[in-house]
């Protein structure tokens, strides 16, 4: 078989363009050097088991693609622990170390990284509205140094309201706990306001920045009957998820969350994505960028799988009896 000279020239041109676009990554790989991967976790502290699960999922995904920490990559993780100053400091530190790529855990980590570098490739995990948040100009063609794996549309609040009423039909009030510095929370609040009427609940919202404010907000809201909670996903509610779950039971407030770990630690129910799976999938973009592709050309991927988790022990403590029809479509029942 003869090799077509025209095809050969196109192939060489393609290779040359890739080398020019991302020369450092390509040369390091060809030379057998170690690629540098930075990871910034926004909500979790290093001691938090859930954050460790996410980083382990990223490492697992990378290993399946041939990237092993200490052999051909070096992974440096920083933990923001829901602290704005710490996140900004760690973002600057990671950028100054000039890694080949950085993985950003959620909006709270992506925001300071975007400010810190316009050139180092960034793959994010868990941003709800990448375009509306000003991180990328387009979902299909991100166009800069940022791409990644998004969460879901803000209309997911309808599912949370529906789940609340199925679990506790008697509720007529719902309190949304939100972080006033978190753009995702701020965007979800109007959706709750617009969507609450068909479920016969009156919505209200309280900003929380720490455990003390959470205790005060829940205690004050619980002074009147038929209340319930929607715990919006953000670094503050992530760090204090065990406190929120305990207070909800103490004040007999049915509560719905976005993530499974909030239910395994005592929360009533959650509807959302498998975050660890998103980190595992993010490894594919890290792999492609380290091999020479541009983040500008990798489309943003939204979650397409959701899971419903119900804690029957918590339901019993709240004198709730989840209907069989709901339990039948539950992905995980905790007893």
108 pLDDT higher than 50: yes
Percent of the chain past pLDDT 90, that is, above it, reads 82
How far apart are the C-alpha atoms of 220 and 224, rounded to whole Å? 8
28 pLDDT higher than 70: no
Give the tens place of pLDDT for each residue, 281-324: 999 999 999 999 999 999 999 988 899 999 999 999 999 999 99
- For the chain, the distance separating the N- and C-terminal CA atoms, rounded to the nearest angstrom, is 65
The whole-number average pLDDT for the span 68-79 is 96
> Helix 275-290 and helix 23-30: axis angle, to 10°?
80
Domains of the chain: 5-151+274-297 (3.40.50.2300), 154-272+307-334 (3.40.50.2300)
Better-scored residue on pLDDT, 32 or 120: 120
Give the tens place of pLDDT for each residue, 233-248: 998 999 999 999 999 9
104 pLDDT higher than 60: yes
Say whether 102 sits in a helix, a strand or coil.
strand
The two three-digit tokens of residue 288, written as one number? 């492609």
CB 112 within 8 A of CB 91: yes
272 pLDDT higher than 90: yes
CB 202 within 8 A of CB 196: yes
Maximum average pLDDT range among 2-6, 26-30, 203-207: 203-207
226 CB neighbour count, 10 Å cutoff = 14
How far apart are the C-alpha atoms of 192 and 157, rounded to whole Å? 6
Distances in Å between the Cα of 42 and the Cα atoms of 78, 236, 238 are 9, 10, 10
Percent of the chain past pLDDT 70, that is, above it, reads 90
Predicted pLDDT at 27? 39
The whole-number average pLDDT for the span 43-53 is 93
263 CB neighbour count, 10 Å cutoff = 24
Specify the residue for token string 């760090």. 239
175 pLDDT higher than 90: yes
How far apart are the C-alpha atoms of 234 and 154, rounded to whole Å? 14
The whole-number average pLDDT for the span 184-192 is 91
How far apart are the C-alpha atoms of 81 and 14, rounded to whole Å? 43
Predicted pLDDT at 19? 37
As a whole number, the mean pLDDT across the chain is 90
How far apart are the C-alpha atoms of 259 and 43, rounded to whole Å? 13
- Predicted confidence band of residue 32 (pLDDT cuts 50, 70, 90): low
The whole-number average pLDDT for the span 129-133 is 88
Residue of 188, 184, 177 lying closest to 210 (CA atoms)? 177
Better-scored residue on pLDDT, 133 or 114: 114
**What is the CA angle 156-215-210, rounded to 5?**
75
Predicted pLDDT at 256? 98
Q: Which range among 40-44, 67-71, 181-185, 187-191 shows the weakest confidence by mean pLDDT?
A: 181-185
The whole-number average pLDDT for the span 40-50 is 93
Predicted pLDDT at 304? 85
Give the tens place of pLDDT for each residue, 316-330: 999 999 999 999 999
51 pLDDT higher than 50: yes
The two three-digit tokens of residue 292, written as one number? 């020479």
Phi-psi region of 106 (alpha: psi -120 to 50; beta: other; left: phi over 0): left
Specify the residue for token string 């929120």. 244
- Predicted confidence band of residue 25 (pLDDT cuts 50, 70, 90): very low
């Amino acid at each position: 078989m003869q090799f077509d000279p025209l095809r050969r020239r196109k192939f060489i041109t393609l290779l040359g363009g890739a080398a020019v676009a991302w020369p450092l990554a390509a040369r390091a790989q060809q030379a057998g050097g170690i690629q540098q991967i930075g990871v910034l976790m926004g909500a979790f502290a290093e001691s938090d088991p859930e954050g460790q699960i996410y980083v382990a999922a990223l490492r697992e995904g990378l290993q399946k693609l041939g990237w092993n920490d200490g052999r051909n990559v070096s992974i440096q993780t920083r933990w923001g622990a829901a602290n704005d100053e710490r996140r900004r400091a760690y973002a600057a530190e990671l950028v100054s170390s000039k890694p080949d790529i950085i993985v950003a855990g959620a909006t709270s980590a992506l925001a300071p990284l975007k400010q810190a570098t316009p050139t180092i490739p960034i793959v994010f995990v868990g941003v709800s509205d990448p375009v509306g948040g000003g991180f990328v100009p387009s979902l299909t063609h991100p166009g800069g140094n940022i791409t990644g794996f998004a969460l879901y549309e803000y209309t997911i609040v309808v599912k949370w309201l529906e789940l609340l009423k199925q679990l506790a039909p008697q509720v007529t009030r719902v309190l949304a706990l939100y972080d006033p510095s978190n753009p995702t929370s701020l965007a979800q609040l109007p959706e709750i306001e617009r969507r609450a009427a068909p479920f016969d609940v009156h919505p209200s919202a309280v900003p929380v920045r720490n455990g003390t404010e959470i205790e005060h907000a829940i205690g004050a809201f619980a002074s009147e009957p038929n209340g319930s909670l929607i715990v919006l996903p953000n670094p503050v509610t992530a760090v204090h998820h065990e406190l929120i779950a305990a207070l909800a039971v103490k004040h007999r407030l049915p509560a719905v969350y976005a993530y499974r770990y909030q239910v395994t630690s005592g929360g009533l129910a959650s509807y959302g994505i498998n975050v660890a799976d998103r980190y595992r999938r993010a490894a594919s973009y890290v792999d492609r960028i380290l091999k020479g592709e541009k983040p500008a050309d990798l489309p943003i991927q939204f979650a397409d799988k959701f899971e419903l988790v119900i804690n029957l022990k918590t339901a019993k403590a709240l004198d709730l009896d989840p209907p069989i029809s709901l339990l039948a479509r539950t992905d995980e029942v905790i007893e």
